[in-house]
Structure 1
Amino acid sequence: MRKLVHCLFYEQMRALGCIDRAFFMSPMSDNVPPLRAQEIEKSAPSAAYSPLYQQIKALLLQGLDRGEWKPGEAIPSELELAARFQVSQGTVRKAIDELAADNLLIRRQGKGTFVATHHEARVRFRFLRLAPDDGKPVASQSRILDVRRMKAPTDVAVLLDLRTSDMVVNLRRVLSFDQTPTIFDDIWLPGSVFKGLTLEAVEQNKGPMYAWFESKFGVSMVRADEKIGAVSATSEAASVLQVALGSPLLHVERVSYTYGDRPMELRRGLYLTERFHYRNTLS
């Protein structure tokens, strides 16, 4: 308890400018410089006045963002992190519990805690909300229509926090379930991050797209904002999804973010829902 009170006092003094030194004692990797207390202030100005476990959570997120632990790798034990952060093990556990609840970390009984990867079903299906009405598993197929590189249109630049002079990658594809075209995706990505993303490269990828973004480009999508509405099929959408012109479709606009709340993808999807429904769990 005395140690925890000391840490809280230290944080308050540091926020007032009375103390300026590293928040923890030694780096986790020889190749990555240690996070410093000042860095948490840049990302969260009020962090010094938030609960201590939230400050530890913020530092862990910064470590993930900096690549100290790669997707699929184990993070240090709670005991090691507690020693490094100079806090109680319970404080570290609470921070890790929240990251696990957010599907950013995965606890494995008897093995430790690992950085989540989009190859894992529990993470992958966070971003695919379309489910069959009968609940039966369906086989999915992806067909890439085209991949283009261009300057960012104004609406895309705004949502991806880019300038209109910045380059973006536009990828359009059709997702089919049991050989039936079901989703028409229009995807926009920052060109500076997704260098080398070409039609040939995308067609060679046979796995989930977010898992490929993670392994190929080092980008993990950790959260998303969505807007959902009902629209009528245009001539292009009707042709791609093989439905009648004017058929009802679900329109989903999603902006996905990586660590540090940086937007990394704008995805506008048209969903055919004759045999499917869009499912979301609120908690």
Structure 2
Amino acid sequence: MATMPPTPPEASVADAAQATPAFSPLYQQIKSLILQSLETGEWKPGEAIPSEMDLAARYRVSQGTVRKAIDELAADNLVVRRQGKGTFVATHSEQHVQYRFLKLMPDSGDRDDEGPAQRTVLECKRVRASAEVARALALRTADSVVQVRRVLSFSEVPTIVEDLWLPGNAFKGLTADQVAGYHGPTYAMFEVEFGVRMVRAEERIRAVAADSTIAALLGVAPGTPLLSVERVAYTYNDVPMELRRGFYRTDTHHYRNELN
């Protein structure tokens, strides 16, 4: 029987995670390796990842180290644990994350009572990125992007006007019918149709007055107070994949965020 080397097996992870700084805790190195597999699509959204025991054997570390890495991935909403079934790659199709980035809530009742948003797509076209859009999406000015304008209504009341810009190379072939007709969250459609999973977002919010164009789309008077919400959504490794600008009515809704 071959004898085991005196060096603990966990020390070998440093060689496997060459891109990970040497000072990173071991579980962080394992987290980075799992993220690499998620990014390359080894495990697709909704699919089970290997068990903690299998991952421990794969990376030659203890199950406790793997568990701590998965704990952080679950806290980041990148994986979902299901009692008795295992750990799965999170997807925007999951009920509890369908509205992860949409914080507009009805003043009365809850979002389930209100039902899903009705989408009216006004345009979906390929354009050249302006300097501002290119900067937000880490593109070059004049690179191709897909621009979408749509109105989201709740209970048949126009509530949000949104403009979306998406990198053209990642979203080749996106059509207005896809955006309007997909029965589920838009980010779930990005996963299923284009293999792009948004994992986090940054927002900037300010109060604005509705101009004549936005007012007409929302059915309010020009000058009506609105929330302007600008969001950049990122896929793995902080790659920006969407710039979204929305104008939100707040006469029947409010913006709600939970802080931990």
Q: TM-score, normalising length from structure 2?
A: 0.93
Within the candidate set 97, 100, 114, 1:138 is matched to 114
Q: How far apart, in 2, do the equivalents of 1:61 and 1:166 lie?
A: 28
Within the candidate set 90, 95, 98, 1:116 is matched to 90
Q: CA deviation at 1:7?
A: 5.0
Within the candidate set 213, 216, 221, 1:236 is matched to 213
SS of 1:49 mapped into structure 2: coil
Q: How far apart, in 1, do the equivalents of 2:216 and 2:6 lie?
A: 63
Q: How far apart, in 1, do the equivalents of 2:5 and 2:229 lie?
A: 49
Within the candidate set 197, 200, 224, 1:223 is matched to 200
Is residue 2:16 matched to residue 1:6? no
Within the candidate set 253, 256, 260, 1:279 is matched to 256
Contact 2:228–2:246 under 8 Å retained in 1 = yes
| Partner residue, 1:255 | 232
Q: CA deviation at 1:275?
A: 1.2
Within the candidate set 141, 144, 154, 1:177 is matched to 154
SS of 1:135 mapped into structure 2: coil
Within the candidate set 36, 40, 53, 1:62 is matched to 36
| Partner residue, 1:270 | 247
Is residue 2:136 matched to residue 1:159? yes
Q: CA deviation at 1:207?
A: 2.0
Q: How far apart, in 2, do the equivalents of 1:8 and 1:88 lie?
A: 7
Q: How far apart, in 1, do the equivalents of 2:36 and 2:236 lie?
A: 8
Q: How far apart, in 2, do the equivalents of 1:199 and 1:132 lie?
A: 27
| Partner residue, 2:55 | 81
Cα RMSD (Å) = 1.8
Q: How far apart, in 2, do the equivalents of 1:213 and 1:9 lie?
A: 38
Contact 2:119–2:180 under 8 Å retained in 1 = no
- List alignment gaps of at least 5 residues for structure 2: none
Identity %: 60
Structure 1 86/3 Cα, relative in aligned 2: closer, same or farther at 3 Å?
farther
Q: CA deviation at 1:4?
A: 11
Q: TM-score, normalising length from structure 1?
A: 0.86
Q: Count the aligned residue pairs.
A: 254
Contact 1:4–1:88 under 8 Å retained in 2 = no
Amino acid at match of 1:66: T
Within the candidate set 112, 129, 140, 2:103 is matched to 129
SS of 2:8 mapped into structure 1: helix
Q: How far apart, in 1, do the equivalents of 2:170 and 2:215 lie?
A: 32
